[in-house]
Structure 1
Amino acid sequence: MLNTLREYERNPLVRFLHSVFDEVAGSEIVDKVVERYAIGTSTKWGGATVYWQIDQYGRIRTGKVMGYNATNGKRIHTQNNYVHSILSDRYPNFNLEQCYFGSHLIVEAEHHADLNNAERRRLNIDGEFHPPIWLFESEKAAVIVAIALMWGGAPFTFIPMATSGCGNLNPTFEAKRNPNHKIQVLKNRKVVLFPDAGKFDEWKAQGEKLKGFCQEVYISTVMERDLHPNKVDCEINYGDGFDDCILRYIADGKEIWNLICTCYGYHGQWKIV
């Protein structure tokens, strides 16, 4: 993994992120988020992106290698593989147990929460705050939302993570009992699910299976115009993610912070469990 954390001038996704955010948010924020998520540069396909899956204990489970168009940030669907598959000859007895992209960030976020909660106790302020997990389908969405949060001065308020598809949430009875399963990072936590456009019912059904496992589960309606109580002032197509809205707002010179602040919640209206 360490050998991939470089040569970002060859990495099409990182180049795209800089082209979008440098002028509005600053290149330092992009670099910091790339570093925090341990995004790597592969030797495949001229420098494809590596999304390392690192669990909450710092164990590297695998890496997802994906090609992107550096101009528009779109995936190149023919450029897609996993590190454990590429290096299968080196690890003949490899046993894959994936984790959510960004799971390792829980430790850093909780450290900041502990410091803030200690200060709240010193000031006799009731209640403690622990950052909810924002769970997206795509890794790119989690990264772009993380950039937006850091840009807005709230890098540890939420923890953007990615499942790599709704089917990978998979809160089965066996998964909940398996201490090494990726779903364990959601246990006893507040979680917000962010379905891509058109996937709301599918994600809601998955979220309902988290009852008794998570502290609270919300589902964002931001990609569903008929359900969302606030105006999303951009085009939304089937399959789009929340990151597409953010990118369209920035391209049109629109303020994104109100979009970020109203993307879920609504006084418990969309609390699943």
Structure 2
Amino acid sequence: MIGQTVKHYEQNNFVRYLVAKFGREVAYAQAQLYLVGTSKHWPGACIFWQVDKANRVRTGKIMLYNPETGKRVKQPFNHIAWAHSLVGSKNKEAGQRHSDFNLKQCLFGEHLLQYQPAKAVAICESEKTAIIASVHYPELLWLAAGSLQGLNAGKCKCLEGRTVILMPDVNAYDLWVNKAAQLSAGLPSVTFKVMRLLENIATPQQKTEGWDLADYL
């Protein structure tokens, strides 16, 4: 299923943005590493597949980006959909029940943990930021929680025995500090460190706009 989508990057707005930023070779390599798919749901849309470290497909987040700015398309509506919902609707219409999904979200990029067991992990909010940061800071294994509230014990269980650096968006530092304390209590083998970098350097306007690491890179 995933293999059918990890191609046609010339039609993928997000990958086109990466190409403009990093060049075709690096952009395609990172897109393939993170299993970024191309969706037909909207012209130019991408799929951020969530695959766990046992290589089970959990779901896929379908999003539409502006290929020039790299910003999400939110007008005339917020372009976000879920692959399991679309497949489920098609199966229902066809009278089928089978699905290739294991319907429980995981960290974006979790499938990479098995290949780099000794590398420190960095977690940010968005999938886009994880991919961009992976080019700038390859010494870390970048994963994404998927949203501000997407960091939870269920998703982080796969990180046992790891050192994990949390990189919250501007204005999310305090929330993720509290979350890190909760996670540490439930996952004592994981060392969580919350970075205050963005909170320290952000201007008032950047705080109002809710910048993340990718906006600085």
Q: Identify the residue that residue 147 of structure 2 maps to in structure 1.
A: 165
Query: What whole-Å deviation, never above 9, does each CA across 1:203-260 have from its counterpart, x for those lacking one?
Result: 11100012241431100111112xxxxx689x833411101110xxxxxxxxxxxxxx
Return the TM-score normalized by structure 2: 0.86
What's the offset of the Cα at 1:93?
6.9
Q: Identify the residue that residue 244 of structure 1 maps to in structure 2.
A: 215
Q: Identify the residue that residue 216 of structure 1 maps to in structure 2.
A: 191
Structure 2 unmatched ranges of 5 or more: none
Counterpart selection for 2:161 from 179, 184, 188: 188
SS at match of 2:105: coil
| Contact 1:236-1:245 within 8 A present in 2 as well | no
1:34 is aligned with what amino acid?
A
| Contact 2:19-2:26 within 8 A present in 1 as well | no
Counterpart selection for 2:114 from 100, 107, 114: 107
Q: Identify the residue that residue 76 of structure 1 maps to in structure 2.
A: 73
What's the offset of the Cα at 1:92?
4.2
Q: Identify the residue that residue 171 of structure 2 maps to in structure 1.
A: 198
Counterpart selection for 2:44 from 35, 43, 47: 47
Query: What whole-Å deviation, never above 9, does each CA across 1:68-121 have from its counterpart, x for those lacking one?
Result: 0011000013211000011113264766211100000111112xxxxxxxxxxx
Query: What whole-Å deviation, never above 9, does each CA across 1:3-52 have from its counterpart, x for those lacking one?
Result: 11111111001001111122xxxx32222111100100001111301000
SS at match of 1:236: helix
Counterpart selection for 1:36 from 25, 33, 37: 33
Q: Please give the alpha-carbon distance, in whole angstroms, between the structure 2 residues aligned to 1:59 and 1:7.
A: 23
User: Is 2:9 the partner of 1:8?
Assistant: yes
2:196 is aligned with what amino acid?
T
Q: Please give the alpha-carbon distance, in whole angstroms, between the structure 1 residues aligned to 2:103 and 2:57.
A: 11
What's the offset of the Cα at 1:184?
1.6
SS at match of 1:224: helix
Structure 1 unmatched ranges of 5 or more: 111-129, 150-154, 176-181, 226-230, 247-273
Alpha carbon RMSD of aligned pairs, Å? 1.9
2:190 is aligned with what amino acid?
Q
Q: Please give the alpha-carbon distance, in whole angstroms, between the structure 1 residues aligned to 2:131 and 2:58.
A: 19
| Contact 2:170-2:202 within 8 A present in 1 as well | no
Q: Which runs of 4+ in 1 moved over 6 A?
A: none
What's the offset of the Cα at 1:143?
0.4
Aligned sequence identity (%) = 31
SS at match of 1:211: helix
